[in-house]
Amino acid sequence: MSNKNETGTFWDHLDELRNILIKIALVAILFGIVAFVFKDLLFQIVFAPKKEDFITYRFLDKIGGIFSEGITDRFDISLINTELAQQFVIHMKTAFCFGILCASPYILYQLFRFVSPALYEDERRYAVQVVGSGYFMFLLGVLLGYFLIFPLTFRFLGSYQVASEVTNMISLDSYMSTLVLICMAMGVVFELPVISWLFAKLGMLNASFMKRYRKHSIVVILIIAAVITPTSDVFTLLAVSFPMYLLYEASIFIVSATERKKSLPSPSSQYPDFIA
């Protein structure tokens, strides 16, 4: 195991960090400009969940058609703009978000190159695996939010009416903010296994505690799923809550593996099985 690299003064590291941040900003801006230029394709992706022929709705229709006449009703929801410069501002914000998302692998790579000299060889190897796993889980949560949770939420809330005299007029800003919020929230939720491992490493969480409160966690998961997707059918509720429950069970497995490795007298016991 090699020693940490402590060469260079504080100002040298600060100068190196500045160069890395400049590179990251340039790459993110470049991707953002590309996304801004391809406006039609960009908003074709963004507005896809509001269309009745979206892949999620078609899939649920096929599944629901096996048992009944289908799950999703026909709907047509238009978006409105209420401010003069709002469409242009949202165009820029959306392009910037896509630029950050596309540049995220490069951003993580550059940041890791900056901190890796301060890590031991074993620490560097495990840090790559942990950060990579966390990044993958975050992207998986974002995709679930985009393809499942947001479409179902938008379909229900966008077409819900307290009376036929009241017409829904969904603003562009409301649509975009809800989409970003749900996708980011699901990305954070999918970090549960990684967070559970960190708490287990710190001795703040154990598998027996998670198993003992498994029934309570199911109730909490169902409540969260009902809040995220307040639809009237049981299938949608289960479709949202099932991945969250799988995350909880995966967290129990990871915490158990961490406890087993910590109990072994091996030097490698400081790392859990799931990243070994």
Torsion over CA: 13, 18, 21, 27 (sign)? negative
> Cα 140–144–148 angle (5° rounding)?
170
User: Of all residues in the chain, what percent carry a pLDDT higher than 90?
Assistant: 35
Please report the sign of the dihedral spanned by the C-alpha atoms of residue 186, residue 83, residue 162, residue 70.
negative
As a whole number of angstroms, the distance between CA 179 and CA 170 comes to 13
Q: By percentage, how much of the chain surpasses pLDDT 70?
A: 85
Q: Residue 10: pLDDT above 80?
A: no
Render pLDDT for 197-231 as a digit per residue (tens, 0 to 9). 878 877 888 889 999 999 999 999 888 877 766 55
pTM value surpassing 0.85: no
Specify whether the CB–CB gap between 184 and 241 falls below 8 A: no
Strands (E), the chain: 79-80, 170-171
Q: Rounded to an integer, what distance in angstroms lies between the CA atom of residue 21 and that of residue 36?
A: 22
- CB 234: neighbour CB atoms within 10 A? 8
pLDDT digit string, tens, across residues 69-87: 555 566 778 899 989 999 9
Which residues lie across from 79 on neighbouring strands? 170
What per-residue confidence (pLDDT) applies to 229?
Answer: 64
In which band, very low, low, confident or very high, does the pLDDT at 275 lie, cut at 50, 70 and 90? very low
Ramachandran area for residue 92 (φ above 0: left; ψ -120 to 50: alpha; else beta): alpha
